Amino acid sequence: MALYDFHTHTTLSDGVLSPVELIRRAIVRGYTALGMSDHCGRGGLTRIIGEATADCALAAEYWDFPVFAGVELTHVPTRSIPRLAAEAKAAGAAYVVVHGESPVEPVEPGTNLAAASCPDVDILAHPGLLDDETALAAAANGVFVEVTARPGHNTGNGRVVTVARRHGARLILSSDSHAPGDLLTPDFAHTVLLGAGLSDDEIAQVEAHGREMLERCKARVQY
Ligand SMILES: [Zn+2]
Ligand SMILES: [Zn+2]
């Protein structure tokens, strides 16, 4: 399967690779497209988007590789999410991820619903115990719901798939890479999706949703 992965981290937050090295390693892995989404609150938004975008532009120019800079709004106050998502887009982010209510972190309750209700959000990451209201909102607002390859966060994948399927919320796969070994391979991507309970048809849809994220980014940012 083609590898689309819009949730990864670099030294701009808590990843171990610089943006341009992450890009290089994704190309070597055979990625079709990459997004870098470093952890942000409000203070770092403009700096992080600017620095990541500069390396994306470099890779696009010299390697002809589609890579885009987003952000992952992480542990921010729930009620600030619409404002921060709009500020990120205004600062040049190609897309916005929200760090959802992972079963393994004390994310503020209500974060999942706030993210799914915000049209400026593109991906609700690792939502954990996804509920019906959130899945309905995600479907209505075009917010992709993440199936994650990340250990710990992935304890919610089964529930995420079940509830998303019930309400037509659209799923996307991410690695949430922090180190080079976290990047996806076609085999591992397929295994994560099968393990989360998806059928072959649903896996093909996840791949199509990755393509759609790429088209969204291209429409928003030109280098
Ligand atoms: Zn996260
Ligand atoms: Zn992350």
Give the residues across from 177 on adjacent strands.
8
Q: What is the pLDDT along the chain (223 residues), one digit of tens a residue?
A: 999 999 999 999 999 999 999 999 999 999 999 999 999 999 999 999 999 999 999 999 999 999 999 999 999 999 999 999 999 999 999 999 999 999 999 999 999 999 999 999 999 999 999 999 999 999 999 999 999 999 999 999 999 999 999 999 999 999 999 999 999 999 999 999 999 999 999 999 999 999 999 999 999 999 8
The C-alpha torsion from 35 through 36 and 40 to 45, rounded to 10°, is: -80
Q: How many CB atoms lie within 10 A of CB 216?
A: 17
What's the CA-to-centroid distance between 100 and ligand 2, angstroms? 9
What's the CA-to-centroid distance between 71 and ligand 1, angstroms? 10
Tell me the C-alpha distance between 214 and 94, whole Å. 10
Where are the domains positioned within the chain?
4-220
- Domain range 4-220, its CATH number among 3.40.30.10, 3.20.20.140, 3.90.1150.10, 3.40.50.10420: 3.20.20.140
- Contact between residue 158 and residue 197 where contact means Cβ atoms under 8 Å apart: yes
What's the CA-to-centroid distance between 101 and ligand 1, angstroms? 9
What is the structure's pLDDT at 84? Answer: 98
What is the structure's pLDDT at 223? Answer: 85
Q: How many CB atoms lie within 10 A of CB 13?
A: 17
Q: Residue 149's closest CA among 171, 119, 117, 118?
A: 171
What's the CA-to-centroid distance between 105 and ligand 2, angstroms? 12
Beta strand extents in the chain (DSSP E only) = 4-5, 33-40, 67-73, 96-99, 123-125, 144-148, 171-174
What's the CA-to-centroid distance between 62 and ligand 1, angstroms? 30
What is the structure's pLDDT at 112? Answer: 98
What's the CA-to-centroid distance between 138 and ligand 2, angstroms? 19
The C-alpha torsion from 97 through 101 and 107 to 110, rounded to 10°, is: 90
